[in-house]
Amino acid sequence: MEVFRKLLMDRREALVRESASAPGREQWLVQKIDEALLRFDDGTYGTCEACGVAIDERRLMARPVATHCIDCKTEADTLEGRRRAF
């Protein structure tokens, strides 16, 4: 899991530098990274907030700020798509 902490810290540092000249999405992502680092501190990083199972490492490598496993995220996206359709 430490590899993910380093990945998050490195990405945060780069985004802070970028957002100084162009605020916007970078600030939102810095906030998400800070939230992920807090989850490291409280021991919940890598655990799905919806179902409580471990988030697959491949998902965390692709999206280190992920808070849901792929199954729960897919289900949430499907439900959101249905709501938008109405």
How far, in Å, CA of 52 to CA of 59, rounded? 15
Q: How many residues does the chain have?
A: 86
Residue ranges and CATH numbers for the domains of the chain are 2-85 (1.20.120.910)
List of residues 6+ apart from 64 with CB closer than 8 A: 4, 7, 8, 11, 33, 36
User: For the chain, what percent of residues have pLDDT higher than 70?
Assistant: 91
pLDDT at 80: 83
Total-model pTM: 0.76
Higher pLDDT, 39 or 86: 39
